[in-house]
A = this chain, B = another copy of it.
Amino acid sequence: MKKSSPTLHDVAALSGVSHQTVSRVINNPETVLPETRSRVENAIRQLDYHANMIARSMAKGRSFTLACISPNLTDYTFASIIEGAETEARQKGYFFMSASAPDETSFKLMVKELVANRRTDGMMVINPYIDNRAEFIPQNATTVLLGARPRSTAYATVCLDDKAASQIATRHLIENGHRQIVHITGPLLEDCSQDRCSGYEETLIAAGITPNAAYRVEGDWSATSGYRAVQHLLQTGLPFSALLAQNDRMAIGAMRALREAGRRVPEDVSVIGFDDMPLASYFDPPLTTMRQDTFEMGRIAARLLIEEIEKPETPRAQLFLAAELVLRSSTAVRAK
């Protein structure tokens, strides 16, 4: 910024009080005489004075800033979490910065910058276990984890109830008469992929169906991996009438492979995804999916983080959010 701005002293000079009194009307208005106060307030308005946050941070030893680190910013799920967190942070008077760290190295660097430089009062980490990044979170950093099953009580954690969501999806398919259900998973080292697998298998078993490992194909969340998974399955000749993909992108890729192979969705194969990403209803056919409220997830995480910052003794919450089945046209009753 180019022009230097008025300081506490300028306001003090103009209103004929000490700079400390000015600080008081800003921070503890009730401790100063109404008369002096209004005089100071006038001066503030007149000079268009705004506190210098840097100076305030320095004096208070806090930055009033929250940071959210995610693998990237372009993935809708992440972006939406971030928007939720930002909304909450701003509302509670905190600054908010989002940053992306695609890999461990950049994560490590970023956390170092953030924590060692005392840039933030606390941080939120989205998908802390996609690699070993969680190991680089310093003990002294107030942190909330997002999008992975809690592994330690040291951190507050917010994630989807993946198992329950997967159960609902699987049950939906079974209720429509499907028994041979392909499952395209995310990377199996991610907690959520595993939990969704358990949900799927348990539901199968509860319905008297023995899970068959051949029906499970591991993907990497990309549409291409969903596409390839189905191509692979088709080659093996394994019969199936339904498909559960652990995210919408893979479901989209799968639908394309099915279409190319001449299998109709949902007549020949029912497909259900996860997330309810934008335009999910614009694919052909519109995608049935498990919607997760990522914006809300972000809000909640920010709320927990702020609570922990302001009241460090708060016990760490571990929250599981519910997903909701959104019925569209990619699933149907199994043809006789």
Contact = CB atoms under 8 A, between A and B. Distances in A.
Interface string A80-118: 101100100010000111111000000000001101111
A58 interface: yes
12 contacts: A1-B122, A1-B142, A4-B61, A54-B118, A73-B79, A74-B76, A95-B113, A223-B282, A252-B279, A252-B282, A283-B284, A284-B284
Given A73-B82, A86-B100, A118 B1 contact: yes
Interface string A238-265: 0000000000010011001001000000
A328 to B, nearest CB: 13
Given A2-B140, A74-B76, A80-B74, A118 B52 contact: yes
B1 A115 contact: yes
A53 interface: yes
A3 interface: yes
Contacts of A97: 95-98
A316 interface: no
Contact of A283 (B4, B117, B283): B283
A249 B279 contact: yes
A2 B122 CA distance: 10
A119 B249 CA distance: 38
Contacts of A20: none
A51 interface: yes
A5 interface: yes
Interface of A: 1-5, 48, 50-55, 57-58, 61, 63, 72-74, 76, 79-80, 82-83, 86, 90, 95-100, 112-113, 115-122, 140-142, 223, 249, 252-253, 256, 259, 278-279, 282-284, 312
A100 B82 CA distance: 10
Residue of A2, A3, A72 ringed by the most chain B CB atoms within 10 A: A2
A57 B52 CA distance: 11
Nearest to A121: B1
Contacts of A223: 279, 282
Given A74-B80, A83-B72, A98-B73, A2 B119 contact: no
A3 B116 CA distance: 11
B142 A5 contact: no
Q: Could you say which of A86, A249, A279 has the most chain B C-beta atoms within 10 Å of its C-beta? A: A279
A112 B58 contact: no
Nearest to A56: B117
Nearest to A115: B1
Contacts of A100: 83, 86
A1 B3 CA distance: 32
Nearest to A4: B61
A73 B83 contact: yes
A2 B142 contact: yes
Contacts of A112: 50
A106 B234 CA distance: 52
Given A54-B57, A58-B54, A95 B119 contact: yes
A239 B51 CA distance: 62
Contacts of A256: 282, 284
Contact of A86 (B82, B96, B99): B99
